[in-house]
Amino acid sequence: MGRWNIARNDETRGANGTPVTRTKKSASLCSVTYEALGGMENSRAGPEGQRYFRRVQVTFTRTGQRRYRVTADRAGAERVAMDPAPGYDSHLPHDLVHFVVECHWKLRDGIYGQLAAGGDAGTFTPVDRPRSRRWAKRSSQKNAHSGADVARSEKLAAGAFIAWQVRSGRIKPSRDAQAWIDGAEVPEGQMAGALDRLDEVAEHWRALDVGDSLTVTWPWPERVERRGKKPA
């Protein structure tokens, strides 16, 4: 699934006032390497004028008692963030669940795939400068050519989170809960593997204090268009 890191961070602010997290120390939590997934460390030309860069680094920061931020550091596009991010949960925030299910089911074109393609997934904004109409238009164009797996990711995230809550005893089994789980449309064995990964991530997320963060690496390379024009 990618390399998992847990880190305690200092916060500074970008040009537009958006908080920027700077890692002070981290420890690897996952042994699955980028190369094992077929990625390439160096930039190279890809099909249809795309270029492939290093992997996106995604940081989930606990910014308050019931708030969190998601920041994506990219080599081929600007750093973007979503603050506050939706669906805070003290055990598993919503967009961290998305990351896990997209990795587990190899959805290369979901929310984080859109970020890897240079888009904003419809919810992220630039960290180092104000969001402009031109920037939004360019991001919208990139979103339009990526994100084929977003709807699938939403179903999987919803079903897996409910299944994880049932298995961990946070909620009781019910018809409504089962309906959400069935809506994910995956075999029981596949779901069990995803829940194991959610167990691991939840353990690390619960250990974070306000201001701490969990940094994860998107396991596939960035996909951005060949640079022929000056960025907006």
| 3 state SS of 182 | helix
Q: What value does the mean pLDDT take over residues 21-47?
A: 37
128 falls within a domain:
yes
Alpha helix stretches (DSSP H) within the chain: 94-104, 111-116, 133-144, 150-168, 175-183, 188-206
202 falls within a domain:
yes
62 falls within a domain:
yes
186 falls within a domain:
yes
Closest of 182, 145, 161 to residue 97, by C-alpha: 161
pLDDT, position 45: 44
**Cβ contact 110:58 at 8 Å:** no
* Cα separation, 181 vs 191, whole angstroms: 9
135 falls within a domain:
yes
pTM exceeding 0.75: yes
Is pLDDT at 213 greater than 70 in this prediction? yes
Indicate left, alpha or beta for 186 from its phi (over 0: left) and psi (-120 to 50: alpha).
beta
230 falls within a domain:
no
Tokens (6 digits) for 54? 């290093």
Q: Which domain holds residue 193?
A: 4-225
Most confident of 9-13, 30-34, 219-223: 219-223
* Cα separation, 65 vs 85, whole angstroms: 13
Count: domains in the chain: 1
Contacts of 199 (CB under 8 A, 6+ apart): 164, 168
Average pLDDT of the residues of the chain = 80
* Cα separation, 179 vs 175, whole angstroms: 6
* Cα separation, 3 vs 120, whole angstroms: 23
123 falls within a domain:
yes
232 falls within a domain:
no
